[in-house]
Structure 1
Amino acid sequence: MDDIAIKEAIKEIEIGNVDLQKAAGLDELRLKVRAFAEQSIERSIKYGDTLYEQIKELDKVKPEDEHAQIFIQSHRVGSLNKQFVILLRDIYFELYKTKALEIEGELESTVVANLINETKRIIGEAIDDLENSRSIQSSAQEVRLLLKQDHPWPEYRIQIVGLSEHFVLVDKSHEIVTKLGKTLADSKLRILAGLVALKDAHHHLIDSALSVQKLTEGHDAEQIIEQINVIKNDLEISKFEGMIHHPIEAIIQTAQPKVSPVVATEGGMLIEKDLTPQYSLEQWYDIEILPLFEEAIILLDGLLYGLRLGLINISNSLDHQTRRKVEFDLDQQFQPLEIFRKSSDEVQTELDRIEYEIQTKTESNLSLRQLFNRDGDFLSLGFQSAIEKFSKEQNLILERIINGWQWLKNKYNAIRTTVAEESQLSKTEKVVRYVDQISIDRLNVNYNNFFSTKVSMIEAFWIQRELEEKRIHQVVQSWSRGYLGTILIHGDRFSGKSSMGEWVNQKYFRGKNYSIKPNSKLTISNSTIELGNDLDTAIRLFIDRVQYARPVIWIDDLEMWTSPDQRIYSVVKKLLQIIDEYSSKVFFMVSMSTWIFNKLVYYSGIDQSFQACIGLSDFTKSQIRDAIILRHGASQKNLVRRDGMEVNKALFDKMTSQVYKESDGNIGQALQLWLTMTSYKDDDFVLIHQVTRYGFPNIIEADNGILLTTLLLYRELSEEDLQKMFGPAYDLKYKIIVNQLVGLGVIRRKFNSKLSINPRVVTEISRLLMDTKFIA
């Protein structure tokens, strides 16, 4: 075959039937580029094979030979056509990425149109360049050099054929990413629907308050009371688990467990990213979004409670005034609504912040943009510690090693054995086992101090308490301008009441704070006064000495001032009288248990006598984790497992999640539980180990329930106190119960013969008493 015949054959091979210029839109252009690439690969192979076969037929090629240019072209064809096919592959990938972002609404139509035109132009220029490169003449010197080398076409042929598989992988990635994009879009819509539900719930409360306010027009007191009861019974925050969380969880379950879509190209390679969309989406929602929704629900619940309380007060006041049968100012009876309006404005500010955070996180993370960012993490989490850097690939490899069936079989046998052993234990054995398991490694004292010391506790308890801090600041500022200064802090045991009080003292009243405790001594200006166990007398004795200094009186655990002779209602009544007399000169700060606070609100309206009543609610899972991270980071020690490997993010999350569940969000208990999972290794390392936790059995019965409720209320009592309270029944029945509970470790007998509930089990006892309705 002569040179002219070869050129004619090549020209016939290169004629294509795909007209890219006529492609109207992105979808059509993608299809045409795909078809054009297939034809280009096919023709590149035929073109190279034709040249290669012809060169092999020649006996010898000389630099001045008429076949020298065909010889040169046979050497060039592989490199040129490979680069051309790679260009088409890169264009096809960019069109796939553009289509995904277009569906998601990330790209404007003008951007897509410009990309289509640019794609047509680039391919057209590439075709022209490819044609021109084939007509470039070579020198005799280049021919001589090539004659000394192995012919490259066989290797290039393999590479060009292999590139056809890249287009198949991009097509598969398009299917994966399209489904993933739909999951992200559905999740985004459901989250935004949750924000709308929050607004609707808030507006419903506001509308209810306005409806009550309008009742003053044309209604008598009895009609108003009747209407208020109707409105009050209609107040309820919707069940957000069904409205928000469950639908989102259902969407997450539709996501692919594991995928590896193409996310970038580099030379002759496709870059894939290993993803676990279902796991990543679930983790991202639980850590980044769910706590914000829960915070909003807590705010709305608090506002709802305040409105219901206000309506009860209005109704009771109207009923009282009506029974007195005297004239009264109707508008004055609706003052509690002013408190609601102020609280509503504060809640609205917080809801706006929560909405902004949720929208920002949703828009920036529930997008395929992060997927195509090679250096970015898909659905990244806002972690705060280096301990949370880990390799997901290692976890996936480990997961593949595990034999699924054998694991399930072993797990079942372990559970069956545990259940059998558990059923043989008595309640007494279970109590002793529970008390014994809550032990802390004393050798780990340096690490423990960051979790247990008073200063550390103050800092850690204050994590994410910004709303409470804002309210305290407002009350202190108002007091400095001459208004009343009173704050009441309530919460469960170990929820941080004492630490918050100490924080307020140090921040606002340094040098002017005085803690009042029963049967203690207080030094003021180099003189010492002795405080008895009567709160009224103790406060008045103190105020006589310091009122002109405008100090703060800190009464931590108001229950400590109660006794069989000084019941809680009597103590509170005297305290409120003192507050009315002196709260413009002395700042009062009081703490108590939430269940006692709830009783006092119901019976005495104690919340109306304080400028701010701050309830220390349980922490969320992320807040518990952040508190542990903060302490651990301050210790400057590394967490390691028994095998010496450093703890990765997956194990750390698992263990902090375990702590959160076991503590039910109680921050103080959570920190103590964390310490039971750590032990001393050396000065730089702390061992962490998983602990099998045993629950506290339900030991509450009619008789011991009354006894434990009494000890929970008074904190500590002597047996003489109990004899006064229970009378002859104490020696006949309750003394035996006391000795039994002391033997179990549920009750402690102190060196001064005072009895109190063991701090190790007081939280569990409180929950059991609440579950069995001994306390509300």
Structure 2
Amino acid sequence: MERYPFAFARKRLSLTPIINLMVKIQDIREPAVPQVKDSLTEFQKSLESMVETLDSWEKPLSDFLTSQSKKLTDQYQEEAEKYFPKKETEEEIPSLEGYLWDYFLPEKFKDLLLLFRDCLLQEKISEHLLAEKKIKSAKIDDLNEKSKHLLKEALLAVQKEMTGEIQVLKTKEGALDRKFEDVLHLKNPWGVYKAQFKTLNKQMDEIIRTNDLMKETIMTFSLIRSNLERMGFEIRRQNRAFLQKARESEELISQLEQSGEIDKALKWLEDVLEDLLTFEGKQDHQVRVLEDWLESLKSFSVPTGSLDGALVTKNIDFKKTTTKWLDYFILPDIIELWEDQESMISRIKHVISQIRGSLTIAKQSEGIQSFKADHQAVSKLMEGIRENSTRANNLLIHIDDTIKKDFYATSVYQDKEFLKVPLQTSFGTINNRNKNLGQRIKRTWQSFLQLLGRKYRETKEKSAHEKLEIAMQVIENRTHDIHPDHYHTLFLTKNFVGDLFLVPRKEVEDQLDQVVVQWKSGKSRSILLTGAPLCGKSTMAEHLSKVSFQKNTILLSPETDLVVEGRKFRTSYSLKEAFDFIKRSLQNTSPLILVDDLNLWRDQKTSLLQNVKELMNFISTHGKRTLVLATLPEIMVRHLDTRLQFSASFTNYFNLDTANIDEIYKAIMLRHGASHKSLQNTSDQEFTDREINRKIVALSKKFDHNIGAVLQAWTFITDVKDEETILIEDRNIQLNDFLSTTEQIILKHCLLFGFGTELEFKSFFPDRFETEFKPVIRKLLNIHVLARDERGRLVVEDLLKQDVYTLLKYNEILQ
């Protein structure tokens, strides 16, 4: 009796821990099923809704892609952001939702967005191709169906993988814990994915924005093609009209020998001459229209495809590229046709005038005259018109074929370079229709080969053609980047020196300051700054103006507004008129008169020599009242000194040809330092200070210590590698001697006088211009040694000006 209660109590006490233990064991064996939040279900429903919408979608697919992409991204970002740590020190609490939104789904959603973006891009590209009739509308319908099918598959795949992963985590024992163990040691990737999603949506917006720009560009290309077609139609119509007038003239002469109606014939001839006036002047209008359309073209970045997930873009300056292509492939032939038309109009006028003269004589003699000579003249005219018409048709067919083959805005989507213009341009390329010339050259080379044998082979690389090849490669190395970035613009400021990064040239500046002090003390002074191109003449003159004559400088330039003590005057190309105005207006001030680039003061009415004499007279009479400073290339100073004592008219003469190595080093490093970038070679090794100094010294020697030329050369050998690095490459950038005698004459004139025109060369060499000088000018334009300024005049390219100057000096052309 005593043990029973004890035993019973003991039994009752032992039941509780056993039951509790069993409950714990049961909890371990059967974990609680996690509850999935509605946000995941809502996202799955969004994917299902998109699939259903795709099946019935009839509008442009781009509307669907852009709207749904933004909607899905916003929905995804809102949920994923909830599980992303707000601070680096914050501990992330594992959860089913956090794992799915931040670790499992982002990569799959990114692939979906990539597909959205690529489908959008291909749709827009196909629309552009359809606009230029490169594909048919059925092709777009087929592309849309394929895109819908791909999108549908991708959406269903994401939904299936999402559903499968949730099901595994819900039902499989320990699956969620293992997922947590796999990702707990990793940094939450949502921040990276968030930035990628933002980038992908921006890229889609950029595709839509570029679509509008491309449509405008395609329309402009269509207008340009139409304009060129109208030019061809106009030329063909004129040729038919010319031939018709010639036939009517022949009939008129035949009838006159029988009827003798001279007054009626004279009236008809007068009408013909008047009709010919309607053919003249149309070219100017056509060129202006073409220029207006080219001016409307823009520069922008065009998405052209994707590679390994990245959007591939091309930066195209459509205005510059299209103008360059037309200048090379189309306009030379068009201009040649126009010249032929003008020549034909002149021939017709001559023949008509000849017939009119014969009729006038016949009328005065009151008798029937023989018109045999007129018959012959008309027959030759008709033969010439037919030959001209045949040649014009061949050229127009060539132009039409070239345009139909290459001239499309959508060529930007091809792998090759957009509207590429070959760098190699020679007389064989320019005059590729002159077979006799080619045969003569071929025979000449064969003769040389037979005569010289082995010596010819040893010196073959030194031929004129090989020299031209080397020169064109140098030019290509200099112009490899047509869009200067921020780094290179630091070196390409005004005159390649610039005010913001002006390095003192102490020796010259001290002397200039002394001249100013002497002039202000009442002594007559005048200053002449000379030197090679790019050496800093204009910059030095402006520096003196800003330091010693603040708000008291009169800058003389042709065709600009000149203000002197409140009075305004529009300058022409006559220095006499400008100086007369200054004399009348000066009352209370003693200014600096700056005549920059004196060699540009010339036109058809006023010669450079007249202006130079006016400058010398003004210096001699007003040297105490005004300080005159003129800048002029050294070669022009030497030229003028052979005609008159030009340089002796100035009291102070400074040659800025060379700068010392310290000044050049400071100029480069000042600009480079402002960029906050490091210099590396092609092996990704950073340049030491000693290597940088050696590179600058080498460039200085190559370019004759010309500070502007060395600064310019720095841009030729450097490229921006990334945001923090500049890459230096060893390129051949020094121009070799490849110039022929004719080329040297043309370039000397353009350097000497600042510019040249075809009309000047035609007046200098009337017998040789068409056969010799005109093709050479075209060649120099095509290989970018010559360019045209805003007035259409020929000027030496700034990128080559100093080198051309050095070559001409070396060849003793410039003395």
Bigger Rg over Cα: 2
Q: TM-score range by the shorter chain?
A: 0.3 to 0.5
The TM-score normalised by the length of structure 2 is 0.41
